[in-house]
Amino acid sequence: MTDKISRRELLKTSVVAGASSVVLRKLDGARAAEASPHDACADGATLEHGTAPRGATPAALSGVADGEIVALTCNDGVYVPPRGQSFFKFGFDFPEPSVAFQGLLFSFRLHTFEDCYGLDRASMTVEKTADGFEMRCSNLVWAGDQMKAPGSVVARARKSGDYFEWKVSAETDRPIKSLTSIVRGVPRGQVSVSCNKFFDPKDNEILKEHPYLFGGMTTPLVVIQKDSGEFFYLSARDEQVRATRFYLQPGDEGYRAELIYEREGWEKSNKIESPAWRVGKAPSMDAASRMHFDHVERAFQIPDWEKRTDVPEWFREIALVLSIHGMHWTGYIYNDYAKIGRTLQWAATQIPAKRVLVFLPAWDGRYYWNYPLYKADPRLGGEEGFRALIEKGQRLGFRMMPMFGANVANRNHSMYAKVANAQTVRIDGDDFANDWVDMDNDRSNDGWGAFMNLAVPSWREYLAGRISEVIEQYHVDAYFLDIAGAWVNNLSGGMYEGTVELVKELRAKYPGVLAVGEMHYDALMSCIPVYQVPRSPAYPAALTKYARSFEHLSRPAPGRGSTGVHEDGFAKFKPTMPEEKHTIPTITVVDDTFEKYRDVMTEVIVAARVRAGIA
């Protein structure tokens, strides 16, 4: 999948409608004639190893008993060649001997750092249990079943009510990177990823990864609404923040789903165990999502919004955010400290200032280029000018929040040598850099930014020190962590755990100062209570039960729609209130906003007042 996206039961038919034995049908019945000799036998013949013949007809396969092994490959039951958007795949038939159970088919695959391994069908045994099955495989295949390899895979699955849940573990003679569950019988329909809006994928393949930012999933949940109106879901029951991927490959009768667990890159082992995976049916989107988030909030100890102790009382009254931009990457000044002060002086006459949070992107000079110095910029007014701005804003009643980057550092700064060991290196050993934007508009993405890992003490301590100094020197009310929702599997340590440590340390020192993040994923709500950009319109409670949000710093400003310091440049301005009722309205203020479009600012402020019930 593309890593760098711009800011990109099973059960019987009666239990999961549509997940019936028809999914055992091969995409092309003629493939039976192409099966290798050891696969072929006549319909109705005795099955060796408890396996169904590869060339079996739909009628014969409909009678396959639970626990029998069906000889399949990765290309069975899916469109080959693809009919829509697709992703990399093997150009041959990789074996996927699959266990049939109550309308679904299960197979498994593991990946080391050098190859991909499947199940050796002759080495598989399946034992039925009181509520499911246990599959054991004592040998592996590779090179498309041309070679054998030592190793074992064990999968234990159980049915409970309307869902089916399993864990899988594996062991081999070399370090394992990831472990894949392959499920057939997943119905097609409208798809919602991480509680986002349902969409029709048509014949496109789908590939998403959790955690957000770069994988597109704020929580590891996919829900499918069938044409009948029923709902089917796939969920990873994570206990830790780890990489999980969902790949849906369409065919006539449903999806072939790959549910992939990738182990933490900072620990190597010849053994691996997946989190629990769960698939099932639900009466509604809300029901499917609620079951998933009941687990999430327990696993990561996420408090309800009303019970959070990390939210100062003043924030619960905020009705508007003024996002007032400082200096662009090029050095172009939108608003210096004095001009921001004049804007606030006027805004205090339009709305009670105590109901407004003032967000200050690029208060520290050249946006991103000055990361991670975080010092008042002389061209904007210097230390005295910034101190005067904060004091004036707070004297008027505003709450003031400067912006910091959670994970970006310019390699050109002399201080970088002190934190260079915190540069992110991915699980395979390749560098991961902040190189997905083109700030200087030379039509080639910039490469001067290192992507830093908060799990590494040198970076976490440095950033904590810079934020602490700003809090102590200027007495700001909150701090904003840019790109907080990013998580990359790497060789040094967990980015989630590092973020928790940073926020925990700052909260202990400054208990009244609010932590805010740019974007979120589910577990992050355990430590950060406020974000930009809500991303769960199909189930708003995925965020609003635990946290609040305001609109992104790239929201177009009144007038021409400038996105200010953000790299998008321009977009259409819409003088509308957020659709989600708990999202705080936000006005982006750039160079001409206050002078030329004060009337539009007034209109938005009036709407925000009405929305909040302010007389």
Number of H helices, E strands in the chain: 9, 30
Q: What are phi and psi of 85, to 5 degrees?
A: -60, 135
Closest CA to 538 of 231, 85, 304: 231
Q: Which of 289, 445, 262 is nearest to 368 (CA)?
A: 445
Amino acid letter, residue 441: N
Strands 399-405 and 356-360, bridge-based pairing: parallel
Directed axis angle between helix 457-474 and helix 382-396, to 10°?
A: 70
For residue 373, count other CB atoms closer than 10 A to its CB.
15
Contact 199, 181 (CB under 8 A): no
Phi (first) and psi of residue 489, to 5 degrees: -70, 135
DSSP string, 350-380: TS-GGGEEEEETTTTSBTTTTTTT----GGG
In one letter, which amino acid is 521? Y
Q: pLDDT by residue (tens digit) across 368-400?
A: 999 999 999 999 999 999 999 999 999 999 999
Coil, strand, or helix at residue 420? helix
Of 51-65, 468-482, 500-514, the poorest mean pLDDT is in: 51-65
DSSP E strands in 174-329: the ranges are 176-186, 190-193, 206-210, 221-225, 231-237, 243-250, 255-262, 271-273, 276-282, 320-324
What domains sit in the chain, N to C, each tagged with a CATH number? 21-188+245-276 (no CATH), 305-405+458-612 (3.20.20.80)
CA dihedral 84, 85, 87, 91 (to 10 degrees): 30
Per-residue model confidence as pLDDT tens digits over 212-255: 888 899 999 999 999 998 999 999 999 999 999 999 999 999 99
**pLDDT digits 0-9 by tens, 322-367:** 999 999 999 999 999 999 999 999 999 999 999 999 999 999 999 9
- Burial (CB count <10 Å: 0-12, 13-18, 19+), residue 340: buried
Determine the Cα–Cα distance for residues 450 and 433; give it in Å rounded to an integer. 5
**Rounded to 5 degrees, what angle do the CA atoms 454, 459, 465 make?**
110
Chain segment 491-524, per-residue pLDDT in tens:
999 999 999 999 999 999 999 999 999 999 999 9
For residue 161, give the H/E element and its range: none
Compute the distance between CA of residue 183 and CA of residue 396 in angstroms, rounded to an integer: 60
58 pLDDT above the threshold of 70 = no
What does the pLDDT read at residue 30?
Answer: 31
Phi, psi of 147 (to 5 degrees): -135, 150
CA dihedral 520→521→523→528, nearest 10 degrees, is 0
**527: Cβ contacts below 8 Å, ≥ 6 apart:** 310, 499, 500, 503, 504, 515
Q: What is the mean pLDDT of the chain?
A: 91
How far are the Cα atoms of 12, 186, 251, 538 from residue 226, in angstroms, in the given order? 17, 10, 15, 15
Residue 34 pLDDT more than 50? no
Q: pTM for the complete prediction?
A: 0.90
226 three-class SS: coil
